[in-house]
Structure 1
Amino acid sequence: MLRRLWLLIFYVPLCTWILIASAWAQAEARLTWLDNRFRVDPEIEQITFVVTREQPSQSVVLVAPDGRKYYADRHANTMSWYTDKGMDIISITHPMAGPWQALGKVSINNGIRFISNIQLQAEPLPAQLYQTEVLKFSAQLTQNKQPLLLRDFLDRVQLKVVFYPLTSILSNELNELNESNEPAPIEVGQFADDGQEYDEVAGDGIFTVALNVNVEPGKYRVEIASTNGVFKRAVEQTVLVYPAPITTSFVQSHQPLTSHSVNIEAKADQTISGSLAAYLVVKQPQQKPRIIQRSSHHQQSHLVLTWPNDAQIGKAWWRGWAYVTDSLTQRELVFRLSQQNYTQVAAVAVDFSASLAQQQAKQQLIIQNEQQQRLLWVVITNIVIVISVLVVLLMWRRKRAVQSDLIVPK
């Protein structure tokens, strides 16, 4: 009795699974291999065909129910067509209902696979971003509201984030841009599903990007879309980018006993006091990179990170990250401190003896000038005295001559 019960427990589900798999395979075979024809139902709003081709071969020709033919380089505006080695990915918005056909060397192994009602879902960005801010941003493709996990499709998806400027700069009066002076869109990042950097798990269908908001302050329309035409869906959002709430300055030392320093100041009216922290990687000549990290104390809004000037001559650099909390939204902000290069040169040796000799020479020259001026004044004074005496004598002689002429002889 117990043996029969175990047979019922294991055998019945196994048979059921085999029947379902067989039915699915037959249905897929009818859809995929019956003259490469497939039917699109009227309720489908968007469909994607993943066509695997034999090698070598050209892209397939897609025939619509009304007989129209579409090609990789000639197709309707409602289509996006991506061609890769041995594969065509064709997405159609509002496809015509009825039988479609793919003409070409379609692989008998994989054939044609269908993905209907693809949706691009993305986390909403904060409405207020900051210049040079870096934040983790994720998006996911779904099929009929379920995660899309078809690797042949996902491996060829390229998603990008583009900022379209809507205003010039943030001010009390935002001047809307018209079409004549509209600036070019700015690509700020590309998503990846490779398990690297900010992406948590490779191949899980969740695409992640380290969004680097390296744009001028202003109002932007943010668009997430495919860069290679795998599908036409896009997600849009409007955000405001404000100036960064931190300022960074670097003071390079030119003396061995004085350290290099990076000063980071957080704006007290935009950030929470005591929330500032920083992480630096410093590379000096003939040394391995070193890590310097500090955090501010309670009620502090600034940091000073220092490292010694080791007197080694050559090229050096530093880069890092700064972390602070937004006081308005309580959001944790991350800012990338771009790499800054500098050159360490030999310390300037001050020759005090030469400086003293130069100073003494200047003083001697001043004394000589003063002596020459005094001598000049003595000469001038003597000349004035001599001239004055001569003038007095001349006047006296003239006066006597006049008096002698006035005497009458007896």
Structure 2
Amino acid sequence: MLRRLWLLLFYVPLCAWAQTETRLTWLDNRFRVDPEIEQITFVVTREQPSQSVVLVAPDGRKYYADRHSKAMSWYSDKGMDIISINHPMAGPWQALGKVSTNNGIRIISNIQLDAHQLPAQLYQTEVLKFSARLTQNQQPLLLRDFLDRVQLKVIFYPITSDLSNDTVDESTAIEVGTFADNGHEYDEVAGDGVFTVALNIDVVPGKYRVKIASTNGVFERSVEQTVLVYPTPITTTFTQSHRSLISHVVNIETKPEQIVAGSLAAYLVVKQPQTKPQILQRSTTAPQSQLELTWLNDSHVGKAWWRGWAYVTDALTQRELVFRLPKQNYTQVAIVTPSLTSPLAQQRLEQQLAARQTEQRQQRLLWIAITNIIVVISAITLLLLWRRKRTLKHDLMLPNELK
């Protein structure tokens, strides 16, 4: 029984691994492609130093990294070639070069790119988590050497519409985000074949064709969707204080017809001169549609900034929306009394300053006089005490006859 259990533990992982890739380590580096395969990718690990391999087709044609068929995409990296072929010729293929005897050649076939469906209605400046994954035979593709070199991007193509049809403008492509499978930020697990991106919809409102595609030639796959981008449903204004201990104000207001009342919440990070960053958090309750976040002007002079996030709920779809509040810099300056442009007011101000200076001068003279009087009185007092002491000493002297 124990022996059977060990056999199961040994063979089950091998079977699972065999479903995702085929490894070839034949001495002549030959591998056979079956007729039913529509797309295949060769991951060739080379010894170092070495040049890219030469790929030989069953009919004897040779293909190189810089000279190959249009049906191929060839990615050459240090110590590795990744070659993808659409509708490959059936039969024995061969890779000529310093192929590693340890890793050899891995074959991946029928790769598919699956992406989550984007909401049909997006908002300008919205940020949302978006995922895509690579599969082989409807199973997650987990070949790390391959995944580390995949570069997936999200590209928006504007669509212009007229009465007859829609026209996609390929010349004005807008790159909105790059996927990652590294376990950082929005990506949950590194190397699990699920690529994640925080899409920042920083495009003008309109209709777009969205394309998710590999952009570095590792393989040719893409997914396309059509979306509508609407104007942002929130308005953010910043009012800077120019008076000491009077608050700076960030006001966030939502459009009642688009956003659920009471669903607004906000998070700000504020950095003032000579202080550590502080965090401000507030939320609304029904039926409120706006909120204010404030912090005191601490009168320190220098550069300051704030940034944050706003969270709301879409009234139509009940979708939770996230908006990034971009970093805003401002400068806290010294408090200066505003100048008076009226000549009469200026004259009055000069008279007040002159009167104040006269008063201060009189006060200084008064203090000097008082100080001098105190000094004279103190000197006279000391002199009288000294004379009295001498008189007493003289009276206490003995008569001559008693000496």
Aligned to 2:363: none
Q: Following TM superposition, by how much is the alpha carbon of 1:202 offset from its aligned partner in structure 2, in angstroms?
A: 1.4
Shift in CA distance, 302/356, structure 1 to aligned 2, threshold 3 Å: same
AA aligned to 2:262 is: G
Alignment partner of 1:10 is 2:9: no
Point out the structure with max Rg over C-alpha: 1
Q: Following TM superposition, by how much is the alpha carbon of 1:357 offset from its aligned partner in structure 2, in angstroms?
A: 4.8
Whether the 8 Å CA contact 2:130–2:198 is kept in 1: the answer is: yes
Cα distance in 1 for partners of 2:165, 2:204 equals 15
Cα distance in 1 for partners of 2:312, 2:22 equals 58
Q: Following TM superposition, by how much is the alpha carbon of 1:74 offset from its aligned partner in structure 2, in angstroms?
A: 1.3
Whether the 8 Å CA contact 1:193–1:208 is kept in 2: the answer is: yes
Aligned to 2:30: 37
Cα distance in 2 for partners of 1:347, 1:174 equals 60
Cα distance in 2 for partners of 1:338, 1:283 equals 14
Cα distance in 2 for partners of 1:232, 1:35 equals 28
Alignment partner of 1:305 is 2:293: yes
Whether the 8 Å CA contact 2:23–2:105 is kept in 1: the answer is: no
Contiguous gaps of at least 5 residues in structure 2: 350-403
Q: Following TM superposition, by how much is the alpha carbon of 1:14 offset from its aligned partner in structure 2, in angstroms?
A: 3.8
Q: Following TM superposition, by how much is the alpha carbon of 1:322 offset from its aligned partner in structure 2, in angstroms?
A: 0.6
Q: Following TM superposition, by how much is the alpha carbon of 1:331 offset from its aligned partner in structure 2, in angstroms?
A: 0.3
Aligned to 2:360: none
Cα distance in 2 for partners of 1:237, 1:128 equals 12
Deviations 1:13-46 (A, max 9, x none): 5457778999999xx9994314110000011111
SS at match of 2:135: strand
AA aligned to 1:68 is: R
Alignment partner of 1:316 is 2:304: yes
Counterparts in 2 of 1:10-409, with a 5 A limit? Answer: 10-14=2-6, 31-167=24-160, 183-350=171-338, 357-358=345-346
Cα distance in 1 for partners of 2:147, 2:97 equals 23
Aligned to 1:384: none
Cα distance in 2 for partners of 1:17, 1:304 equals 60
Shift in CA distance, 348/321, structure 1 to aligned 2, threshold 3 Å: same
Cα distance in 2 for partners of 1:210, 1:31 equals 38
Cα distance in 2 for partners of 1:313, 1:336 equals 28
Q: Following TM superposition, by how much is the alpha carbon of 1:295 offset from its aligned partner in structure 2, in angstroms?
A: 0.6
Cα distance in 2 for partners of 1:15, 1:264 equals 64
AA aligned to 2:58 is: P
SS at match of 1:167: strand
AA aligned to 2:290 is: H
C-alpha RMSD of the superposition? 2.7
Shift in CA distance, 162/30, structure 1 to aligned 2, threshold 3 Å: closer
Whether the 8 Å CA contact 2:134–2:140 is kept in 1: the answer is: yes
Count of residues in Structure 1 that have an aligned counterpart in Structure 2:
346
Shift in CA distance, 312/29, structure 1 to aligned 2, threshold 3 Å: closer
Deviations 1:263-321 (A, max 9, x none): 11100111100001111101100111110111112111111111100100000000000
Cα distance in 2 for partners of 1:34, 1:357 equals 99
Cα distance in 1 for partners of 2:23, 2:242 equals 78
Whether the 8 Å CA contact 2:23–2:107 is kept in 1: the answer is: no
SS at match of 1:287: coil
Shift in CA distance, 327/308, structure 1 to aligned 2, threshold 3 Å: same
Cα distance in 2 for partners of 1:192, 1:65 equals 37
Q: Following TM superposition, by how much is the alpha carbon of 1:102 offset from its aligned partner in structure 2, in angstroms?
A: 0.5
Shift in CA distance, 351/188, structure 1 to aligned 2, threshold 3 Å: closer
Aligned to 2:391: none
Deviations 1:222-252 (A, max 9, x none): 1111121111011111111010001111111
Cα distance in 2 for partners of 1:35, 1:21 equals 28
Cα distance in 2 for partners of 1:16, 1:253 equals 72
Whether the 8 Å CA contact 1:191–1:209 is kept in 2: the answer is: yes
Q: Following TM superposition, by how much is the alpha carbon of 1:69 offset from its aligned partner in structure 2, in angstroms?
A: 1.1
Aligned to 2:378: none
Shift in CA distance, 158/71, structure 1 to aligned 2, threshold 3 Å: same
Taking structure 2 as the reference length, the TM-score comes to 0.80
Shift in CA distance, 21/206, structure 1 to aligned 2, threshold 3 Å: closer
Q: Following TM superposition, by how much is the alpha carbon of 1:205 offset from its aligned partner in structure 2, in angstroms?
A: 1.4
Deviations 1:364-384 (A, max 9, x none): xxxxxxxxxxxxxxxxxxxxx
Cα distance in 1 for partners of 2:305, 2:217 equals 40
Shift in CA distance, 176/322, structure 1 to aligned 2, threshold 3 Å: farther
Aligned to 2:381: none
Cα distance in 1 for partners of 2:130, 2:164 equals 29
Contiguous gaps of at least 5 residues in structure 1: 1-8, 362-410
SS at match of 2:145: helix
AA aligned to 2:200 is: N
Aligned to 1:378: none
Shift in CA distance, 297/174, structure 1 to aligned 2, threshold 3 Å: farther
